[in-house]
Amino acid sequence: IANEVYKYNFPTTPLWPKTIEGITLKEIDKLSFNMILMSPPCQPFTRIGLHGDVSDPRTKSFLYIIDILPRLLRLPKYILLENVKGFETSATRDELIQTLEKCGFKYQEFLLSPTCLGIPNSRLRYFLIARLQAEPFSFQASGQVRLGLEKDSFSMAAKEPNPGSDEDSRQCSLKEAFLFKLETVEEKERKEHQDNDLSVRMLKDFLEDDKEEMSQYFLPSKSLLRYAFLLDVVKPTCRRSTCFTKGYGHYVEGTGSVLQTAEDVQLESVFKFFETLSEEEKLMKLSTLKLRYFTPREIANLQGFHPEFGFPDQVTVRQRYRLLGNSLNVHVVAKLISLLVG
């Protein structure tokens, strides 16, 4: 399906529907390319996965690239890699770094979210850019992962602060705040901080205007009642949203934010004394929020896809969500490419 969408948007670009390891060294040499852009399967490195790393069969294609790179007749000049947070501590990453150094590449690693470019969507990902036989990048810090694009954003990934530490929780518990749903004080304060960050644009800049087409995206009553306390609710004036996953629109919990279209209604007024209400009263209160899913086009907007980017008619809404959930932010990649070739 992803290939069909790609051909629909880039009909003149050659596309090989085959596995990476199915391409021989001779075939790769014939391509005579000067850049590799890659986003290998992330399941072996995800936080909630089995951490199979190099032993996971899904790493095979990436290990093939690492193995074949030193044997190419002409090495590519540029490499850009994307994966999930967690890749930076993997054995696969270590093999990649050893190969890059052996081949004479200068490289820099990053952990970046679109919020660093003013985009109101959290999507933290690992990135690596590498350049062949060149001076070190002006922003390079050997052996360190950069946690942003500012000059002072170098930090060891292993030394990231743990926002869920007992000390932090103890301090937060001393602060007064009205909590609704299943949020901690810390989560509420983090959201308020994000919404007050004027360097990030508002969500309304990324929303569609056609309200007549939105009826299919409103949350059904069953989902409202069952997941009311788990929903991450945002308004068009918010400057944040959570990461949209491939399960968005099908699963509710932890797959992405939902939009409150009734902006004048206060969440606190809906959830206060919520547990004392009857099911009918709960639904009536929740309905006043007019909650809906973000449309695929809106998620594509947040991820930086060009306005002319589209989907073939036969691709369903659910399939569009799955593809977008597996995608990456175009603006972040564009910024890194400009740093890589600049």
Greater pLDDT, 152 or 340: 340
Query: Mean pLDDT throughout 263-270?
Result: 91
pLDDT of residue 45: 61
Q: Is the per-residue pLDDT at 165 higher than 70?
A: no
Residues 6+ apart with CB under 8 A from 137: 106, 108, 129, 131, 339
Which of 132-141, 250-259, 277-286 is predicted with the least confidence, judged by mean pLDDT? Answer: 132-141
In the chain the domains, ranked by start, together with CATH numbers, are: 13-160+328-341 (3.40.50.150), 179-294 (3.90.120.10)
Q: Is the per-residue pLDDT at 154 higher than 60?
A: no
For the segment 44-78, what is each residue's pLDDT rounded down to a tens digit? 666 655 556 666 666 788 889 999 999 999 999 99
The neighbour count for residue 90, using CB atoms within 10 Å, is 20
Give 138-185 as a DSSP string.
TT--TT-EE-SSSTT-EE-GGG---TT-HHHHHHHHTS-----TT--H
Of 130, 128, 125, give the one whose Cα is nearest residue 114: 125
Does 243 participate in catalysis according to the annotation?
no
pLDDT-derived band of residue 285, with 50, 70 and 90 as boundaries? very high
Place of tokens 């919020």: 115
Sheet holding 78-84, edge to edge: 35-38, 78-84, 125-132, 105-112, 145-146, 154-155
Greater pLDDT, 172 or 213: 213
Average pLDDT over the chain, rounded to an integer: 86
Angle, vertex CA 122, rays to CA 116 and CA 125, nearest 5 = 80
Query: Mean pLDDT throughout 34-46?
Result: 80
For the segment 114-129, what is each residue's pLDDT rounded down to a tens digit? 999 999 999 999 999 9
pLDDT-derived band of residue 84, with 50, 70 and 90 as boundaries? confident
